[in-house]
Structure 1
Amino acid sequence: MNAKILSLQSRNTVDWMDWRWQMKHRLQSVEELAEYIDFNNEKIRDIQMACDVFPMSITPYYASLINKDDPRCPIRMQCIPNPQELIEGRGDMDDPLHEDADSPVPGLTHRYPDRVLLLVTNECSMYCRHCTRKRKVGDNNRCTTEKDIDLGVEYIKAHPEIRDVLLSGGDPFILSTNHLERIIRKVKEIPHVQVIRIGTRTPVVMPQRITDELVRMLKKYHPVWINTHFNHPREFTPEAVQALARLADAGIPLGNQTVLLRGVNDCPVIIKKLSHLLVKNRVRPYYLYQCDLSRGIEHFRTPVAKGIEIMEALIGHTSGFAVPTYVVDAPGGGGKIPVLPNYQLSMTNTKTVLRNYEGVICVYEEPQNPGSGCSPTCSLCKEHIIRHEPVGLQKLFDPSNLTVSLVPEGNRRKARYTARKGEAHVYRNQKK
């Protein structure tokens, strides 16, 4: 039997605890996978077909968590290719979030006014089968270069409105500590950047990467925030718990972004248990993502109603800081849209009717003299108005802005008004 596979039987060796060894010995072919899990020939052919389109990579550590006797094991479903990935869904897109369209330079997405996404690698220790960037991850023809990163850094320097930079990929933590530090240092040296965030799944799929050396390096660049990606309670192993403890003990704020996956965690009990494990380990449940419309993950998607059901089971039934924000990352680059159960039932100028998590309906009395908001002499507001033009709905709320309606691009109203203006012009000329 392959030495790589034999090593999966022992988790106490020096090699096993070395993240570089984990990277080097990833399962990347169907033959290697078949030595660890018994598949019939038909199943092997199916897995190979999916691998030919979407590459496979599984760390020995994460492979060791698979329940080989359970075909619906949540670990297995997240890492082993499935022929359903080749079925095209009605809403499938290669780039559903329009990251490429919002990319002024290669590898950088600037969608929100004050923050950007900087992709520092297209490699991961494991290729999650539900990845929204399946089109990029593991593609050797799309490798992120030093030039790409430098162009991104120069773009950030040229835009003083950017205060928050998210490093993602791929997974930034598969880079060497020295390489990652060079990138962080370049970003940190930009005066207007206040916060650096890093998105990583290594605490879940390769917790050996969270070394003392890595943590010491990160501590030098506070404030650094880390978002990780636990999807199921079974991913909380002693190794994962130790990795999170190292980061938290270093004063690094931790958040978690869970993706709602059919057959894996689309259950209120599972998500609640996951949230409790996260907060127990000093990780804030940050987002619960509705599965994106990326090509190859249709079989993972749930109805939005399932997410609402889960939120109903969380809000009021557990601590507020244990409740993630359920979001749909809008197709077409619309950004993250929070989706909540309907707790506001009705409202007038004097009363707002609400319901609570138990279904109790109550009335909130509105103030008789609501006032006009912030003081007109507020220096913070004056400075903000001078530096920032209102965006979106802010235009309608801003008393100094004369905008009375926001008309979406492509709306028939614009075409109708243009046509009617033309007709009116013709009619006036005829009258003359």
Structure 2
Amino acid sequence: MDETNWRDLLKPPADGSSPCWGPDSGLRARALFPVRVNAYFAALIQSADDPLGRQVIPSAAELDDPATADDPLTEERQSPVPRVIHRYPGRVVLLVSDQCAVHCRFCMRKRRVIQTHRDGKPQLDRALAYIRQRTDIQEVILSGGDPLMRADADLAALLSELRAMPHLRRLRIHTRMPGVLPQRVTPALVALLAGYHPLYVNIHFNHPAELTPAVATACNRLADAGIPLGSQTVLLKGVNDDPVVLTDLMERLLDLRVRPYCLHMLDRVPGTRHFQVPVERALSLLAALRGPLSGMGVPHMMVDLPGGGGKMALTPDAVIAKGPEQWWIRNWQGGIYTYP
């Protein structure tokens, strides 16, 4: 893709009506998963093939992918009511938004993000009723989409309702907003979140180029408010599958008081094969981080097992057997799952 074409993908509507946009013509990949990039993040991209451009600009490689499962982790099957994923005892994921500030081309929930859910409040009310009735649930993870796409008033109402449930011990927010639209992390938002301790925020960062001064300001605001921060990184071929890049990313996150938490293997949704890093390579990258990084800077290497097996750290105890086409991995319950 030449310079002109990829920049054309990121032009806003002529009427300037929206901070996010998706053009109507171009690559077929765009029809399968629309482009959405806000002006802040677009300004950071130098080319379609740089580490930031590869994450959000559609590629013909997305069409060359035999993966067919829109929901390879079977989240829908483990959803007792809409917007709740209940996979583990004691905690649930609550999908509070179907929108994001950018569309990551490797998004694990493309199936939800590209839909328009007009009945969000009835679904959310039903989800909250489920959590209220299940007194064995101790932790709720707000996810989506991106929870911080919701207005402050909506977040305050939601967090208040959750905090009023006596059996909930912890709340967690999983977001990419501080890295892709740090202006969203206003003093007002931070003050709001700080009223619901213990509350944790895990932020999605993939490359050091994302860590701008504006991002540092956003993270410092959250950390200064006493909100523990962790990072989640997706291992992506051509973006961060390099020990120097990963070491730099983790070091700089520690400087921002963001604890590296998880380095995720790619979830195999359609259109993502060109991002996949082989398991053997992933483990060698993790090994390369030990030594250059202090222990608190080394993330867990996590794989979310296809078929609903859940997240599992890739360790010698977890890997049962290796074949030329797949590995066999034991999950936290002792079940054996295959991973390509």
What TM-score does the superposition give when structure 1 sets the normalisation length? 0.69
Cα deviation for residue 23 of structure 1 reads: 9.3
Choose 1 or 2 for highest CA Rg: 1
Task: Give me the whole-angstrom Cα distance separating, in 2, the residues matched to 1:341 and 1:317.
Answer: 21
Task: Give me the whole-angstrom Cα distance separating, in 2, the residues matched to 1:341 and 1:158.
Answer: 39
Whether contact under 8 Å (1:268, 1:309) holds in the other structure is no
Match of 1:175 in 2: 150
Is 1:210 the equivalent of 2:174? no
Amino acid at match of 2:204: H
Cα deviation for residue 92 of structure 1 reads: 4.1
Whether contact under 8 Å (1:121, 1:144) holds in the other structure is no
Q: Larger relative CO (CA 8 A, sep 6+): 1 or 2?
A: 2
Which of 15, 18, 21 in structure 2 is aligned with 1:27? 21
Which of 55, 65, 75 in structure 1 is aligned with 2:44? 65
1:222-264 deviations in Å (ceiling 9; x for gaps): 1110011110000010101100000000000001100000100
The verdict on how the C-alpha distance between 1:230 and 1:59 changes in structure 2, with shifts beyond 3 A counting, is same
The verdict on how the C-alpha distance between 1:99 and 1:317 changes in structure 2, with shifts beyond 3 A counting, is same
Amino acid at match of 1:207: P
The secondary structure found in structure 1 opposite 2:191 is helix
Identity percentage of aligned residues: 42
Whether contact under 8 Å (1:257, 1:287) holds in the other structure is yes
Is 1:82 the equivalent of 2:35? no
1:99-138 deviations in Å (ceiling 9; x for gaps): 1000000010000001000001111111111110111113
Cα deviation for residue 181 of structure 1 reads: 1.0
Is 1:187 the equivalent of 2:162? yes
The secondary structure found in structure 1 opposite 2:122 is helix
Match of 2:222 in 1: 247
Whether contact under 8 Å (1:286, 1:325) holds in the other structure is yes
Alignment of 1:18-417 (within 5 A): 24-29=18-23, 45-46=26-27, 49-68=28-47, 71-89=48-66, 91-140=67-116, 142-143=117-118, 145-340=120-315, 392=333
Cα deviation for residue 72 of structure 1 reads: 2.0
* Structure 2 gaps, min length 5: 1-6, 11-15, 318-331
Amino acid at match of 1:123: Q
* Structure 1 gaps, min length 5: 9-21, 31-43, 343-390, 394-405, 410-432
Task: Give me the whole-angstrom Cα distance separating, in 2, the residues matched to 1:23 and 1:227.
Answer: 31
The secondary structure found in structure 2 opposite 1:258 is strand
Match of 1:429 in 2: none
Cα deviation for residue 315 of structure 1 reads: 2.0
Task: Give me the whole-angstrom Cα distance separating, in 2, the residues matched to 1:250 and 1:144.
Answer: 34
The secondary structure found in structure 1 opposite 2:304 is strand
Q: What RMSD over aligned residues (CA atoms) do the two structures have, in Å?
A: 2.3
The secondary structure found in structure 2 opposite 1:136 is helix
Task: Give me the whole-angstrom Cα distance separating, in 2, the residues matched to 1:25 and 1:321.
Answer: 37
Cα deviation for residue 87 of structure 1 reads: 2.2
The secondary structure found in structure 2 opposite 1:88 is coil
Task: Give me the whole-angstrom Cα distance separating, in 2, the residues matched to 1:52 and 1:176.
Answer: 29
1:371-425 deviations in Å (ceiling 9; x for gaps): xxxxxxxxxxxxxxxxxxxx945xxxxxxxxxxxx8x89xxxxxxxxxxxxxxxx
Amino acid at match of 2:49: R
Cα deviation for residue 27 of structure 1 reads: 3.1
The secondary structure found in structure 1 opposite 2:113 is coil
The secondary structure found in structure 1 opposite 2:245 is helix
Whether contact under 8 Å (1:27, 1:60) holds in the other structure is no
What TM-score does the superposition give when structure 2 sets the normalisation length? 0.87
The secondary structure found in structure 1 opposite 2:262 is strand
Cα deviation for residue 306 of structure 1 reads: 1.5
1:332-357 deviations in Å (ceiling 9; x for gaps): 11011111368xxxxxxxxxxxxxxx
Whether contact under 8 Å (1:311, 1:340) holds in the other structure is no
Cα deviation for residue 284 of structure 1 reads: 0.7
Runs of 4+ in 1 over 6 A off after TM superposition: none
Cα deviation for residue 314 of structure 1 reads: 1.3
Amino acid at match of 2:56: C
The secondary structure found in structure 2 opposite 1:337 is strand
Aligned residues: 312
Task: Give me the whole-angstrom Cα distance separating, in 1, the residues matched to 2:33 and 2:138.
Answer: 35
Whether contact under 8 Å (2:247, 2:292) holds in the other structure is no
Task: Give me the whole-angstrom Cα distance separating, in 2, the residues matched to 1:299 and 1:185.
Answer: 42
